[in-house]
């Protein structure tokens, strides 16, 4: 049974070779010893990696062939700069470089006009990001980029945001043959966590078990932000009594929240 044939840039993707880790290391050793035929084998053996990356950008309205060619440039850069001495898989090293090359292409072809000075800051930030990624084998933080540029962090963020294309919340970012994972699945919403919701219910239930005076003291202290002295003056008791009642009420609530 033949696999589905898909032609990209004249390449039959169903016939692309797959290299084992042993074959990869052998070819990199040969390439770094001056045997340049190994470069072509490494490129052909990793074209599936480019295909997997360009799927992230398939809803941008760009031609797949164009994205594939740009991704191949990123792949070749990764091959030329990969260091066998580093304890990292080639795919881990190559994917950010392929993505970076595609993002540069999309940015340069973005119809939205951004000021030259802002673009210059953004391009320099991206160059430094790539440099730091290659050096440290991890994505640098915005603070690290701003320090290397000697530019305020806020300015770097603003410049990078200005050149980014809008991304749909329903853009797939990963697919393993089952249900795809979308951008919205990776966004954290701290306002609607189940744990916060359950905790809120527990607190309300515990509050119901307090006396009216205890409820009033806790409301004034923690919802209205009043001091114990202000609460004491308003209720007409001493500060020491407010302190004791407050501690007793909190202790009573904790029995029901735990």
Could you tell me the CATH number of the domain that includes residue 62? Answer: 1.20.120.1810
Question: Is the domain of 152 the same as that of 117?
Answer: yes
Residue 244 lies in a domain: yes
In a domain, 186, yes or no: no
Query: Which pLDDT score is estimated for 4?
Result: 44
> What CATH number is given to the structural domain containing 230?
1.10.10.10
Which of 5-19, 99-113, 176-190 has the highest average model confidence (pLDDT)? Answer: 99-113
Residue 183 lies in a domain: no
Assigned domain for 131 exists? yes
Give the mean model confidence (pLDDT) for residues 116-145. 85
Q: What is the mean pLDDT of residues 99-118?
A: 73
Q: What is the pLDDT of residue 76?
A: 92
Model confidence at 2, pLDDT cuts 50, 70, 90, reads very low
Question: Which stretches of the chain are assigned E, i.e. beta strand?
Answer: 7-8, 11-12, 172-174, 181-182
Q: Would 220 be classed as within a structural domain? A: yes
Q: Say if residue 1's pLDDT is above 80.
A: no
Confirm if 86 and 138 have CB atoms less than 8 A apart.
no
If asked whether residues 60 and 77 sit together in one domain, one would say: yes
Residues 148, 128, single domain; the answer is: yes
Contact between 23 and 31 under an 8 Å Cβ cutoff? The reply is no
22 and 85 in a single domain? The answer is yes
Residue 176 lies in a domain: no
Final residue before a domain boundary, out of 108, 126, 157: 108
Instruction: Indicate the pLDDT class of residue 148, thresholds 50, 70 and 90.
Output: very high
Residue 193's pLDDT is what? 47
6 plus 103 within the same structural domain:
yes
Q: Which residues have a Cβ under 8 Å from the Cβ of 90 and sit 6 or more positions away?
A: 24, 28, 46, 78, 82
Instruction: Specify which residues 7 forms β-bridges with.
Output: 12
For residues 140 and 102, state if they share a domain: no
Final residue belonging to a domain, choices 108, 123, 139? 108
- Same-domain status, 82 and 6: yes
Position 252 in a domain: yes
Encode burial over 1-39: b for 16+ CB neighbours within 10 A, e otherwise.
Answer: eeeeeeebeebebeebeebeeeebeebbebbeeeeeebb
Nearest alpha carbon to residue 32 among 92, 95, 90, 72: 90
> What does the block give as tokens for 171?
């853009």
- pLDDT, average across residues 50-57: 84
Q: Are residue 145 and residue 200 in the same domain, yes or no?
A: no
Provide, rounded to the nearest whole percent, the portion of the chain with pLDDT above 70.
Answer: 73
Number of domains observed in the structure of the chain = 3
Residue 157 and residue 245 share a domain: no
Answer yes or no: is 246 within a domain. Answer: yes
| pLDDT average, residue stretch 216-231 | 84
Residues 92 and 121 both lie in one domain:
no
pTM to 2 decimal places: 0.44
| Residue scoring higher pLDDT (98 or 86) | 98
Q: Measure the CA–CA gap between 109 and 68, rounded to whole angstroms.
A: 16
3-class DSSP state of 191: helix
Query: What are the CA-CA distances from residue 17 to residues 13, 196, 251 (Å)?
Result: 9, 50, 67
Q: Which residue has the higher pLDDT, 252 or 132?
A: 132
Residue-number span of the structural domain to which 222 is assigned: 191-257
Give, as one character, the DSSP assignment of residue 139. Answer: P
Provide the 10 A C-beta neighbour count for residue 53: 22
Point out the domain boundary residue: 88, 108, 128.
108
70 & 122 share domain? no
Per mean pLDDT, which range of 59-73, 180-194, 198-212, 233-247 is the poorest? 180-194
In terms of domains, do 4 and 62 share one?
yes
């Amino acid at each position: 049974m033949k696999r589905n044939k898909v032609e990209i840039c004249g390449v039959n993707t169903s016939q692309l070779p797959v290299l084992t880790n042993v074959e990869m290391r052998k070819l990199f050793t040969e390439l770094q010893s001056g045997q340049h035929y190994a470069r072509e084998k490494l490129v052909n053996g990793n074209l599936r990696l480019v295909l997997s990356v360009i799927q992230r950008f398939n809803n941008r309205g760009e031609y797949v062939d164009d994205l594939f060619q740009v991704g191949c440039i990123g792949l070749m850069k990764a091959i030329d700069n990969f260091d066998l001495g580093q304890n990292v898989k080639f795919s881990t090293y190559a994917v950010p470089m392929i993505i970076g090359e595609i993002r540069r292409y999309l940015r340069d072809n973005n119809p939205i006009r951004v000021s030259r000075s802002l673009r210059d800051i953004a391009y320099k930030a991206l160059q430094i990001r790539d440099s730091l990624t290659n050096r440290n084998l991890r994505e640098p933080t915005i603070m690290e980029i701003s320090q290397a540029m000697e530019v305020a962090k806020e300015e770097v963020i603003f410049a990078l945001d200005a050149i980014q294309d809008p991304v749909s919340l329903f853009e797939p970012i990963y697919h393993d043959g089952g249900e795809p994972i979308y951008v919205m699945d990776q966004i954290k919403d701290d306002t609607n966590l189940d744990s916060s919701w359950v905790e809120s219910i527990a607190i309300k239930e515990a509050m119901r078990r307090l006396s009216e005076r205890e409820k009033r003291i806790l409301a004034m202290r923690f919802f209205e932000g009043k001091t114990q002295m202000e609460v004491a003056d308003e209720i007409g008791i001493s500060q020491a009594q407010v302190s004791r009642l407050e501690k007793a009420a909190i202790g009573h609530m904790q029995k029901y929240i735990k």
